[in-house]
């Protein structure tokens, strides 16, 4: 039985330290140090308030269903999760009281899951507007983590026509968050972010969209196991064809990997077993801000990507240009966004919905 207040073994704990070290780009020699520092941090068990707004709770699901090790339990051993309406035992008035007590104490890490309705009456908890609750709790937080693409930039719920005016944390609250894009968030990234924060007491270096560069510094395309097929001009032309069987590149059937910054090929989903492209589906770009409108239709070819061996740039719809502008044409070459900024949103806030990116402004 575990020595950390839960049902987990020392072996699981060390496994988490090892996984976190790998995700954070540290060698195995860092594992004992991480373990010692975490044990120290776990004594304090920092308070965490997890607010759910407009979403399908997929990020909570992703976290609690992870095994090898049981990530959720380990996380619960490290922190004091004072409020999470999905998994807490308390309900009704009791749960509201637990949340208010955490607010009174202050100095908690605030995790927000789900988009925030900015129009009145579209999203309420205990007769209060989600927008007001978000503002109130963000004001007293020591750090805000937006988990999943709904919380970062609105995600699926904010897709056109968006009658509720749903927005992500920055657009709705004007608050700087550590943005963990992806739909759902990869639980390993969330745990590593919390581990990193507990170890360093610092917000990680982020790109201009608030994403930790360590997880979002490279395109899917640059890390993709099918990249050799792309370079050789071997593409799946349609689903069900021979090329699909052969595992060729999915660019022509809609893959948005050339314009999507995330580490899915390395980190994978479902206990690290597989990921979208590994399972045969094109990347639909869920790690990118405003991806639902920016990348619809999901099986349409991404415009502006230079195909090896073919002169010029692919022609295509202008949807992607709406957000990515000129950067699209060189999307598979460089992550200009990530290299230009310091990662501190205080110094350089990300663009709001409809606002031009630094690349578009030139
Ligand atoms: S286009 Fe998609 S499938 Fe092809 S190499 Fe790039 S990321 Fe992989
Ligand atoms: S591979 Fe693409 S669609 Fe799949 S989770 Fe990663 S960013 Fe999202």
pLDDT tens for each residue of 318-335: 333 333 332 332 232 222
- 283 alpha carbon to ligand 2 midpoint, in Å? 5
Residue-averaged pLDDT of the chain? 81
Which is more confidently placed, 162 or 195? 162
* pLDDT reported for residue 15: 80
* pLDDT reported for residue 275: 96
**CA 159 centroid distance within chain:** 17
Q: Is the pLDDT of residue 79 over 60?
A: yes
Residue 296 in tokens: 């619809």
Q: Is the pLDDT of residue 182 over 90?
A: yes
Q: From residue 18, how far is each of 7, 102, 190 by CA, in Å?
A: 19, 31, 15
pLDDT tens for each residue of 48-75: 999 999 999 999 988 887 765 566 666 6
Band (pLDDT 50/70/90 cuts) for residue 351 is very low
Q: Are 168 and 116 in contact (CB under 8 A)?
A: yes
pLDDT tens for each residue of 5-56: 345 577 777 887 887 777 777 778 888 888 887 787 777 788 999 999 999 9
Band (pLDDT 50/70/90 cuts) for residue 159 is very high
For ligand 2, atom 1, the nearest C-alpha belongs to: 283
Q: Is 306 in the pocket of ligand 1 (CB under 6 A)?
A: no
Domain limits, the chain: 10-204, 218-362
Poorest-pLDDT segment among 127-141, 191-205, 239-253, 298-312:
298-312
Q: Is the pLDDT of residue 346 over 80?
A: no
What is the CB < 6 Å shell around ligand 2? 182, 220, 260, 262, 264, 275-277, 283-287
**Substitution candidate for ligand 1 out of 222, 224, 253 with most atoms within 8 A of CB:** 224
For ligand 2, atom 8, the nearest C-alpha belongs to: 286
Ligand sitting nearest the alpha carbon of 243: 1
User: What distance in Å separates the CA atoms of residue 84 and residue 329, rounded to the nearest whole number?
Assistant: 42
**Which residue intervals of the chain are DSSP H helices?**
10-23, 31-44, 58-64, 71-78, 92-105, 130-139, 148-153, 169-173, 187-200, 213-216, 220-223, 227-231, 242-245, 264-267, 291-294, 321-324, 336-340, 358-361
User: What distance in Å separates the CA atoms of residue 197 and residue 26, rounded to the nearest whole number?
Assistant: 15
Q: Is 255 in the pocket of ligand 1 (CB under 6 A)?
A: yes
* pLDDT reported for residue 168: 98
* pLDDT reported for residue 69: 58
Q: Which fold has domain 10-204?
A: Rossmann fold (3.40.50)
% of the chain residues with pLDDT over 90 = 52
**Substitution candidate for ligand 1 out of 222, 227, 248 with most atoms within 8 A of CB:** 227
**CA 223 centroid distance within chain:** 17
For 218-362, CATH gives 4.10.480.10
Q: Is the pLDDT of residue 359 over 70?
A: no
Q: Is 304 in the pocket of ligand 1 (CB under 6 A)?
A: no
Q: Is the pLDDT of residue 201 over 90?
A: no
Poorest-pLDDT segment among 24-28, 163-167, 187-191, 219-223:
24-28
**Substitution candidate for ligand 2 out of 215, 255, 257, 264 with most atoms within 8 A of CB:** 264
Q: Could you tell me which of 148, 152, 213 has the C-alpha nearest to residue 177?
A: 152
């Amino acid at each position: 039985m575990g020595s950390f207040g839960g049902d987990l073994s020392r072996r699981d704990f060390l496994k988490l330290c090892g996984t976190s070290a790998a995700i954070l780009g540290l060698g195995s020699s860092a594992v004992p140090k991480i373990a010692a520092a975490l044990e120290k941090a776990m004594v304090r068990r920092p308070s965490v308030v997890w607010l759910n707004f407009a979403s399908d709770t997929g990020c909570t699901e992703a976290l609690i269903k992870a095994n090898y090790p049981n990530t959720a339990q380990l996380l619960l051993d490290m922190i004091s999760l004072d409020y999470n309406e999905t998994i807490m035992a308390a309900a009704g008035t009791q749960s509201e009281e637990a949340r208010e007590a955490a607010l009174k104490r202050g100095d908690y890490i605030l995790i927000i899951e789900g988009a925030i309705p900015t129009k009145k009456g579209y999203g309420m908890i205990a007769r209060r507007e989600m927008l007001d609750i978000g503002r109130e709790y963000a004001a007293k937080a020591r750090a805000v983590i937006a988990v999943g693409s709904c919380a970062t930039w609105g995600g699926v719920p904010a897709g056109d026509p968006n009658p509720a005016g749903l927005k992500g944390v920055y657009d709705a609250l004007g608050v700087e968050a550590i943005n963990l894009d992806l739909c759902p968030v990869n639980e390993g990234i969330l745990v590593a972010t919390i581990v990193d924060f507990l170890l360093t007491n610092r917000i990680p270096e982020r790109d201009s969209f608030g994403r930790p560069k360590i997880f979002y510094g490279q395109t899917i395309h640059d890390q993709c196991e099918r990249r050799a097929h792309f370079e050789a001009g071997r593409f799946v032309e349609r689903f069900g064809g021979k090329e699909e069987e052969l595992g060729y590149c999915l660019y022509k059937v809609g893959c948005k990997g050339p314009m999507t910054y995330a580490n899915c090929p390395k980190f994978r989903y479902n206990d690290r077993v597989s990921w979208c492209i590994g399972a045969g589906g094109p990347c639909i770009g869920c790690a990118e801000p405003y991806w639902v409108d920016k990348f619809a239709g999901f099986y349409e070819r991404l415009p502006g990507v230079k195909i090896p061996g073919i002169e010029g740039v692919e022609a295509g719809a202008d949807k992607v240009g709406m957000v990515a502008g000129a950067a699209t044409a060189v999307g598979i070459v460089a992550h200009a966004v990530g290299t230009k900024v310091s990662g501190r949103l205080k110094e350089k806030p990300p663009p709001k919905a409809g606002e031009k990116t630094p690349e578009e402004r030139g």
